[in-house]
Each structure stands twice: as C-alpha cells, then as structure tokens.
Chains A and B, each alone.
Chain A
Amino acid sequence: MTVLSQVFRSREGLVGLAILFVVAASGLSAPFVFPNDPLSIVAAPLIPPFTDRALPLGTDTLGRDVLACLFHAARSSLLVGLCAAAAALLIGTVMGTLAGFAGGIIDEALMRITDAFQIVPSFLLALAFVSTIGPSLPIVVIAIALGAWADPARLTRAQVLSIRERDYVASARTIGMHPMEIAFRQILPNALPPVMALAAIIVAAAILTEAALSFLGLGDPNIVTWGGMIAEGRNVLRSAAYLSIIPGMALLATVLGVYLLGEGINKAFAGQGAAR
C-alpha cells in the first residue's frame, strides 16, 4: 500500500490535504482570477465586506481589493514557506550527513556551528538578518532557513550515525566506494524518512515566521502577504477589524492544513514501518 493512499485513509491527512488544496488553488489561480496588480488602488478605502458585489471582501485602508490581495498572498506565503523549508532541509541534511559520516574534528566543528544556530531563538535570528540586509523575498527565505536548518541537521546526523554501522554500508566500503558516494547515495536516502517528518513542522513554522516578519514591517513591499495585510489592518483594528481577521484566518487555515497533512504523512510512514 503506497504512502499516498495511506495518507488519504487517515482523517487528518485528508482534511489537511483538502485545506491545502484550496489554499494552493487560490494561490495558483490568483494571476488568472485577479490579473491586475493586487496592490493597485481600485476603489474608495475601507469598504466593508459583503456590501459590494464587485468587492466581496471589501477594500483596505488604501482602497485595494481584499479578496485579490488574499488570493495573491496565498501564493507568496506558500512560496516562502516551501522554499524556506526546502532550503533548511537541504542545508540541514547535507550538514548532518557530513558531520555524522566524517566524525572526529569535522563533526565537532560542524556540531558547534549547528549548536550556535540552534541556540539563538530562530525568530530573533531572522529578525536581525532581514533588518540588516534589507527585506526582499529571497532574503526573507534565507533568514527563515538560517533559523530552521539546525534541527534537521541534528536529526540527520543521529540517523547517519546509526546507519553508518550497518552491513550494507560496510560492504559498500569494502568494494571501495568513494566516501562521498557512500554518504550521499547509500546513507542519506535511508536517513531521510524521520527528517521528512520534520518537514511539515518546518513549513508551518516558516509560514508563521514570514507572517510575523511582515507584521513587524520587514516584508517585501512589492508583494502581498497575509502578515503584511494584518499589519495594515492593525492600524484600523477598531473601525475595520475585518482587515486583520480575514488574513489571520487564512493563515490559521493554511498552517493547520500543513500540520494535519504532516500528521497524516507521519501516520502513513509509521504504518509502513510497522508493516515492514
């Protein structure tokens, strides 16, 4: 039974997948359903939702279409989340494999560096990084990744350490395989599954971190993000609470979807492991 079908069978996986499907669909369809720049002023400011048929969710403080912004923000938020998580996992797994496989002083040095990045609270790190280099999409992604790679690195290393002593690795060594090849073609693929379990958490954390950065005014001003929308809405919390509530709900739903899907995948992997 494949992993995917097992995910579908668990309730969490199903709900998570459904939510994410809606979010991804809105993000992907944004350029077609709302072809104009979502940041352009289209009407009078602060039109409440459900009052104008052309503007189902109303307009914000500058007169921009909230629904269009919501859809386009789905794109950026998901994009940032996925890219940052991918970067974190990439850096983490590579570092972890190197450290676990090489051992000795390289291991020590790499682990100290990993410690350093793990000890500083990741949001502080991202804050300092984005503030000093300047807020733009690639920088935000790098900043989030910098705070997130330490955990996958540790996990990968632990896995690698245990796999390293297994038979098939020993035989690879005896036939004279190059260490790098052993590390990355034999060991890493088998070390991955638990690390992948972390993936969902990292994606969710990345989306939330990006939202918090945008909320504090450190987002890329040329794109819409949910965090940025909440930041704008905060100025008018009393008179137009919907501007803060709506993007917040979108964020909540997306992150929830990611967690649920993650749980579903975990269950599926666990099921597979039991079956083996």
Chain B
Amino acid sequence: MGGAGRILRRRLISAIPVLIIVLLFTFLLLENASGDAVDAYLVSIGGGDASLRDSLRTQYGLDHSALWRLWLYATSVLKLDLGWSVAFDRPVLSLIMERLPNTLLLMGSATLLSFILGTALGIVAGAKPGSLLDRALSSVSLALYAVPGFWLGLVLVLVFAVKLRWLPTSGLETIASGKQGFARALDIARHLVLPVASLGLIYLGLFLRVMRSAMGEIWRMEFVSFAQSKGLSRARVVLRHVARNAALPLLTVLGLQSAMMLGGSVVIESVFAIPGFGRLAQEAVAGRDTPLLMGIILVSAVFVILVNLIVDLLYALLDPRIGAGEETA
C-alpha cells in the first residue's frame, strides 16, 4: 500500500522537528518558572536550612547551567530515558507508564460512550429532521458541549454518589481490596462510571451532529425509494449509506477529540482523584519537576501525533472505497 507508506513516512519525518520545538519550549518555560524542584521539596517537608538546600540542589543537578542540563536531557531522550523525576524520586518513564493506562482507560471509555450515544442519538435525530425530537436532541447536545467538564463531574458526584449513594465518590478502585480478574474489573468499572460520564457526555454532541447531517443527506437521495422497491429493508439501506457518508467526518471528530480529551482528563482526574496521566501533569507543575513535565508533554505530543497518523491512514483506506460506492449508487 504505497499511499499509506508515503503518509507514514512523511508524518514521521515532520514529527521530529515538531517534537524538538515542543521540548525546547517546555524547557524554556520551566527555566523561567519561579521556584524550582528544591523549593517545592523544602515546602513539603516543612522547612530546612541553607546547607540542606544546597546539598539538594547539587543532588538534583540544579546547580549546572541550563544549556548543559538541556543537552543532557536531549541525549538521554534519544536513549528513551526520560530522566529522573525529582518530585517522585523515580524514573520519569516508569512513572508515566504507570499512570498512562488509567487515563487511556478513562479516555477510551469516554470516547466509546460519546461515540455510541452520539451516533445513536444522531441517527434518531436525523431520522426526522426538524421534528421536536430532533430539536430537543440538538439543543441538549449543544448544552452538554457548553458545560464545563469539572462542573458536570461535581454535579454527577452530588447526585449519584452523595445523594443517591449508588456509585463511589472518587478513586479508581476500592483500595487494597485484593480483588482479581472479573471482580476487580467490575470494581474499576463502577468507579469509572461517573468520570467517564463527565468526560464522555460533553463530546457526544460532536458525533450527534455528524450522524445527523449524514442522515439528512440520505433522505434526499432517490436510490432509497428505488432500493425499497426492490424489497430491501429500509433500515438496512439507510444505515449502510449513512455509515459510508459519516465514516470520514466521524473519523475526523475522533481525531480531534483525542487531543481535547487529554486536556480534559486533567480536571476530571482531579475531581475524581484518579491516579492518571492528567493529574500527574498537575503534580509535575506543583512540584516544579522539569523532567517529569517535559516527559509528560513529550508523551502527550507523541500520543496526538500517533492518533493523527492513524486517522490519516484510515482516511486513505476509506477514501477510495467511498468514491467507488457513490459511483455505483
């Protein structure tokens, strides 16, 4: 598949200067920050004297020049070593790898929720454009898109965890429960219901719109009645063409959403005390942990680049097929 290969190569090559710019910017930013990792640490232990401070600075390598530290970091990144987190006292890469799956789980589930609910409701709305149901669904989805994610999270906690006591208030799973396998998965699922809802409900409007407009076009096409006369069930015809029509825009939305959700996960993880990647970013900034924050931004950038790449590849895959489909219809 030459086309895909070309896209892959082109994207990967242009990704490198982009990542370099990202890293440089992050480094410069943190260099100008007021307070460094040692200050953050001294605060956390409630005080210390001057000699402690100096010894810590030497220990963290903070007494070297900025350029030297940047060089050191750049060379280690090439070896896939993202450095040492001063706030957590562990390698950055292992810290990120520990937290990333939780966020990916959160984001993945939320995307699934938005997608399923959004497309389903979009089909319903598009089925009778202009009707009361259609307008109601569109308004609700727009309202949901306008809601601040953290506020939605708080409201959901208030209603479902505090007042109704149906779901837990925070965390990823019941601590030290020792559960394994399916029981553990269920426990995690219960804890994720509210955070996933807070994150996912917001974006369902995007999918709803795509499906709705895809539906809208179908009605206008004559082949529907033609196919119907042939005895094919209406639903099948509609759905097949809607799927084709909507595939590309849905893909675009999926791509856009991933970057937005990564940012949104920061607040949601804070509200629900989920030990994830987003919250790690917050902790990195609070601890003035340059290596950690740079690692986080690097990984986020790589993630978005990968998602965009996959979307582009899928575009290339789907495109010729849709062209052919339209011709025969």
Binding site for B on A (CB under 8 A): 112-113, 115-116, 119-124, 127-129, 131-134, 204, 208, 211-212, 215-216, 227, 230, 234, 237-238, 241, 244-245, 248, 251-252, 255-256, 259-260
What are 12 of the A-B contact pairs (CB < 8 Å)? Answer: A116-B21, A119-B301, A122-B259, A124-B281, A128-B281, A128-B285, A129-B29, A132-B30, A211-B151, A237-B158, A244-B155, A252-B148
**Also in contact, A204 and B32, with CB within 8 A (given A124-B300, A237-B158):** no
> Which of B49-57, B138-146, B189-197, B210-218 participates in binding chain A?
B138-146
User: A121: which B residues are within 8 A, CB to CB?
Assistant: 259-260, 262-263, 300, 304
Closest to B25 in A: A116
CB distance from A108 to the nearest CB of B (A): 9
CB distance from B285 to the nearest CB of A (A): 4
User: B154: which A residues are within 8 A, CB to CB?
Assistant: 230, 234, 237, 244, 248
The answer to whether B155 touches A248 (Cβ under 8 A) is yes
Main secondary structure of the interface of B (DSSP, over half): helix
The answer to whether A124 touches B296 (Cβ under 8 A) is yes
**Also in contact, A251 and B151, with CB within 8 A (given A121-B304, A124-B266):** yes
Closest to B33 in A: A132
Query: Does B115 belong to the interface (CB within 8 Å)?
Result: no
The answer to whether A112 touches B145 (Cβ under 8 A) is no
User: A230: which B residues are within 8 A, CB to CB?
Assistant: 148, 150-151, 154
Binding site for A on B (CB under 8 A): 14, 17-19, 21-22, 25-26, 29-30, 32-34, 142-143, 145-151, 154-155, 157-158, 162, 259-260, 262-264, 266-267, 270, 281-282, 285-286, 293, 296-297, 300-301, 304-305
The answer to whether A248 touches B148 (Cβ under 8 A) is yes
Listed from nearest, the 7 A-B pairs whose CB atoms lie closest are A123-B263, A132-B33, A121-B263, A255-B146, A248-B151, A131-B285, A116-B21
A259 and B142 alpha carbons, distance in the complex (Å)? 8
User: B285: which A residues are within 8 A, CB to CB?
Assistant: 127-128, 131-132
CB distance from B265 to the nearest CB of A (A): 9
Partner of B32, one of A119, A132, A215: A132
CB distance from B268 to the nearest CB of A (A): 10
A259 and B147 alpha carbons, distance in the complex (Å)? 12
User: A241: which B residues are within 8 A, CB to CB?
Assistant: 158
A255 and B147 alpha carbons, distance in the complex (Å)? 8
Q: A116-B301, A237-B157 are in contact. List 9 more A-B contacts (CB 8 A).
A: A113-B21, A121-B259, A121-B260, A124-B281, A128-B285, A227-B148, A251-B151, A252-B148, A259-B145
Most chain B beta-carbon contacts within 10 A, residue among A121, A123, A216: A121
User: A256: which B residues are within 8 A, CB to CB?
Assistant: 142-143, 146
The answer to whether B157 touches A128 (Cβ under 8 A) is no
Closest to A212 in B: B267
Closest to B24 in A: A116
A129 and B296 alpha carbons, distance in the complex (Å)? 14
The answer to whether A259 touches B146 (Cβ under 8 A) is yes
The answer to whether B18 touches A112 (Cβ under 8 A) is yes
The answer to whether B21 touches A112 (Cβ under 8 A) is yes
CB distance from B281 to the nearest CB of A (A): 6
A30 and B72 alpha carbons, distance in the complex (Å)? 53
Partner of B162, one of A131, A237, A252, A259: A237
A90 and B159 alpha carbons, distance in the complex (Å)? 42
Closest to A218 in B: B285
A227 and B267 alpha carbons, distance in the complex (Å)? 12
User: B150: which A residues are within 8 A, CB to CB?
Assistant: 211-212, 215, 230
